[in-house]
Amino acid sequence: MTQPFSYKLLAQDGAARLGEIATPRGVIRTPAFMPVGTTASVKAVFLDDVKAAGSDIILGNTYHLMLRPGAERIAKLGGLHSFMRWDGPILTDSGGFQVMSLAQLRKLTEKGVTFRSHIDGAMYELTPERSIEVQNLLGSDIQMQFDECTPFPATFDEAESSMRLSLRWAERSLAAFAQYGRPGRALFGIVQGSTFPELRRESAAKLTSMDFHGYSVGGLAVGEGQRAMFDTLDFTTPLLPTNKPRYLMGVGTPADIVGAVERGIDMFDCVMPTRSGRHGQAFTWAGKLNIKNAAHIEDLRPLDETSTCPASRDYSRAYIHHLFRSGEYLAPMILSWANIGFYQELMAAIRKSIAEGTFADVAARVRAVYPSTVEDDAGADAEAARSLKSK
């Protein structure tokens, strides 16, 4: 019998939750960080190393994969897991966010979105029904409803009509998902409503009345700043059921993650560890460092001597610095791997601390070297307010 999809809350420390998501392809320990495998590859890192770093689940992007190599082709080749050689669970987004940020000639209607591929100019249509079909062709274990990620800033009226469109698409997504009847696969609803408590409340109330396996908080990490994101989580996560997992999409920095766990979030994904790695930024327990900086040119210390990740532990900073200066492939390879290693160590430390009731200590340790950007966001908030007023 197939293991059904289920979430078990194991411990709490304040609002922070330690849990386990069971899937037919294995257990996901939460809070979990999901490395992003955009186009069927976690950029510059072998999946064996992604796995060994402690990743229980990775993410694939529906938009990228449906354009190339194509969802029907991946299905024909045996599904995304076998295609990219990952036997653990895979979560896919709905494609909606990237259509709006990457595709050309977008046209959004009640039915869905038509757009032109940024790769070859071909025209595509993405609807709730097609998004769910694509995610099932890929063989995704945790699928997302098709939604509109409300841009930030948005007026109340804009945010309201966008959120209600996403609610109607949620119903259609759920109906489409029901047709596939693959036991163990899960579909998450996505709470929208921008930074407006009343709209988040309406979105959460409607979505939790539908039969989703978990809930995402969408429309954040889109420029609103950490303060507004935390404020939104403060009034949004209490609206979500305690017996289902909660996923904050596209987040974030170590400080973002700690702050969101503190507010009851269970799942995260972000390109930050790999993208930063390609650009010479290393995450360590002593803070972030720019390995391209001349200060590292003769520094024989590893990135992080306390790390269990070979990439963080075995190469000197001087060597990695040299590799970046020389434009060697090995530079992003080592640093992307090391950053995945750090993110998973962070999640492991968070999980352990929740079990032990010492989450505040880990949070303080992270904040000491990854200062919250809440204060830096004053400017962003003011900017957003100005932008709204001028609408």
Total binding residues for a copy of itself by CB under 8 A? Answer: 33
Q: From residue 382, give the alpha-carbon distance in Å to each of 29, 225, 245, 389.
A: 38, 11, 33, 11
Q: Does 390 sit near a copy of itself (CB under 8 A)?
A: no
Residues 311 and 42: their CA atoms lie apart, in Å, by: 16
Residues 349 and 366: their CA atoms lie apart, in Å, by: 10
49 is in an annotated binding site: no
Residue 163 one-letter amino acid: M
Q: SS3 of 178, please?
A: helix
Candidate ranges 54-62, 265-273, 314-322, 363-371; the one touching a copy of itself (CB under 8 A):
314-322
Q: Does 78 sit near a copy of itself (CB under 8 A)?
A: yes
Residues 351 and 110: their CA atoms lie apart, in Å, by: 41
For the chain, the distance separating the N- and C-terminal CA atoms, rounded to the nearest angstrom, is 56
Which residue among 8, 46, 109, 293 contacts a copy of itself (CB under 8 A)? 46
Minimal distance, residue 105 CB to a copy of itself, in Å: 22
Q: For a copy of itself, which is the closer residue by CB, 64 or 172?
A: 64
Would you say how long the chain is, in residues?
Answer: 391
Q: For a copy of itself, which is the closer residue by CB, 40 or 350?
A: 40
**Ordered alpha helix ranges (H), the chain:** 47-52, 62-67, 71-76, 80-84, 96-102, 128-138, 156-180, 197-208, 226-236, 254-261, 272-278, 310-313, 317-325, 330-356, 359-369, 377-389
Q: For a copy of itself, which is the closer residue by CB, 86 or 177?
A: 86
214 is in an annotated binding site: no
Which residue among 7, 33, 63, 83 contacts a copy of itself (CB under 8 A)? 83
How many Cα atoms are found within 13 Å in the side-chain-facing hemisphere of 321? 18
Please write down the HEC assignment for all residues of 139-173: CCCEEECCCCCCCCCCCHHHHHHHHHHHHHHHHHH
Residues 274 and 338: their CA atoms lie apart, in Å, by: 9
48 is in an annotated binding site: no
Q: Residue 283's beta-bridge partner residues?
A: 288
Restricted to residues 267-306, the positions that interact with a copy of itself (CB under 8 A) are 297-298, 300
Minimal distance, residue 37 CB to a copy of itself, in Å: 10
> Known catalytic residue: 93?
yes
Restricted to residues 324-343, the positions that interact with a copy of itself (CB under 8 A) are 325-326, 328-330, 332-333
Which residue among 322, 348, 349, 369 contacts a copy of itself (CB under 8 A)? 322
Q: Does 39 sit near a copy of itself (CB under 8 A)?
A: yes
> Known catalytic residue: 157?
no
Q: For a copy of itself, which is the closer residue by CB, 72 or 375?
A: 72
| Positions in the binding site for a copy of itself (CB under 8 A) | 39-41, 43-44, 46, 64, 68-69, 73, 76-78, 83-85, 297-298, 300, 314-316, 318-319, 322-323, 325-326, 328-330, 332-333
Binding site members: 93-97, 147, 192, 219
Annotated binding site for substrate: 93-97, 147, 192, 219
